[in-house]
């Protein structure tokens, strides 16, 4: 069944005032006349952008990825209702048996998208190959990574990203074999020096996990892991909830890293009222928009990608750039050819926004109209 959306559509070539037609799962056609980005919101027409792509999702709607069972279906519905059309289910540092249980539960959802939910592209293995001195909110179960274990876990569910601390003995040499096996390696939860970050990039690491958080910071005589990212990275994640990273640091990263992209690092508390929730094996508390461990450590977020887009625009980014930072760059980073932009023949993954408020009006995942989720 064909459907058409009239408004201002963001294409790879810029905004068009016109119509996007979709048939089944795909975009059938986009027609219209060019519009300057500066004029788009003043037209008052619905704005059509690519659906959001989130590479770092721990939970949502009261459910946690590590729970197993049908938790991921509920998580995918919550985030789809906020405009995320594709995501990576992100595991916590945990004993191998717990990770295996989570991956077995994720596997069928990676093979087939549940109605009403985002596409689960695979898994982001955020731990356990991290530095025990930079756990952040991860449980104290860090250990040395091996190719054999990564392949064994991948056999249970498709792992797309692996976060790794390169300064741990043996990890620098592991990056090449992980790349050759098809994994993308990100640097994160690291106490490494600038030189460790540069060496990891030279070995084939592709990005950085939640830039600035749980890594050595920038000092003018010791640039740290943040300095390596700002000086050399093409891609990096960033959490733009305005709690994890100061707006000034966000602006610096946006200027320095060409394809910086946004993630939510969302927890079970996303889309839920204040209270206590699970993050892997730990209890976290949501209060005043943040999620923390009992000792006050930030523990993921309650961010959704529609709010991430609005936050970027609020920081002064043009809407087309904010869209790339919440969709296209992450899709390119993952090597996705069929989504992350609006173009004839690609998946009909898209969001329709009110021109004035940038609030969601419609979401389509692979051509399916998704029920929106109201903010709590």
Enzyme catalytic residues: 265
- Which structure tokens are listed for 200? 């990891």
**Are the beta carbons of 165 and 131 closer than 8 angstroms?**
yes
Q: Which helix (H) or strand (E) holds 73?
A: helix 71-80
Pairing of β 47-50 and β 350-353: antiparallel
User: Parallel, antiparallel, or unpaired: how do β-strands 14-23 and 282-287 relate?
Assistant: unpaired
Helix (H) / strand (E) containing 90: strand 84-91
Closest-CA residue to 149 (of 180, 174, 172): 174
Helix (H) or strand (E) run with residue 99 in it: helix 96-111
The Cα-based distances of 127 to 163, 203, 279 in angstroms read: 6, 20, 13
When computed from its CA atoms, the radius of gyration of the chain, rounded to whole angstroms, is 20
């Amino acid at each position: 069944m064909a459907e058409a959306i009239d408004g201002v559509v963001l294409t790879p070539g810029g905004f068009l005032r016109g119509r996007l037609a979709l048939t089944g799962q795909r975009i059938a056609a986009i027609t219209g006349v060019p519009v300057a980005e500066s004029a788009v919101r003043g037209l008052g027409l619905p704005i059509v952008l690519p659906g959001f792509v989130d590479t770092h999702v721990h939970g949502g709607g009261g459910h946690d990825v590590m729970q197993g069972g049908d938790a991921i279906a509920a998580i995918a519905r919550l985030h789809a209702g906020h405009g995320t059309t594709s995501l990576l289910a992100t595991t916590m540092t945990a004993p191998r048996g717990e990770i295996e249980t989570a991956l077995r539960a994720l596997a069928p959802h990676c093979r087939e998208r549940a109605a009403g939910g985002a596409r689960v592209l695979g898994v982001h293995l955020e731990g356990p190959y991290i530095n025990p001195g930079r756990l952040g909110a991860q449980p104290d179960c860090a250990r040395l990574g091996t190719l054999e274990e990564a392949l064994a876990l991948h056999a249970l569910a498709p792992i797309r990203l692996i976060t790794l601390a390169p300064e741990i003995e043996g990890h620098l040499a592991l990056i090449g074999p992980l790349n050759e096996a098809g994994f993308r390696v990100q640097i994160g939860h690291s106490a490494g020096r600038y030189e460790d970050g540069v060496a990891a990039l030279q070995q084939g690491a592709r990005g950085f996990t939640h830039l600035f958080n749980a890594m050595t910071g920038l000092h003018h005589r010791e640039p740290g892991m943040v300095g390596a990212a700002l000086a050399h990275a093409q891609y990096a994640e960033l959490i733009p909830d305005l709690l994890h990273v100061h707006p000034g640091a966000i602006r610096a990263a946006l200027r320095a890293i060409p394809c910086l992209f946004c993630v939510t690092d969302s927890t079970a508390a996303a889309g839920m009222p204040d209270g206590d929730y699970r993050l892997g094996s730990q209890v976290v508390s949501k209060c005043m928009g943040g999620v923390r461990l009992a000792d006050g450590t930030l523990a993921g977020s309650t961010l959704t990608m529609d709010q991430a887009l609005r936050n970027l625009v609020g920081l002064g980014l043009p809407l087309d750039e904010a869209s790339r930072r919440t969709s296209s760059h992450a899709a390119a980073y993952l090597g996705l050819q069929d989504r992350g932009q609006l173009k004839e023949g690609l998946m009909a993954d898209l969001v329709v926004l009110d021109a004035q408020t940038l609030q969601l009006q419609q979401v389509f995942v692979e051509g399916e109209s998704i029920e929106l989720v109201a903010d709590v």
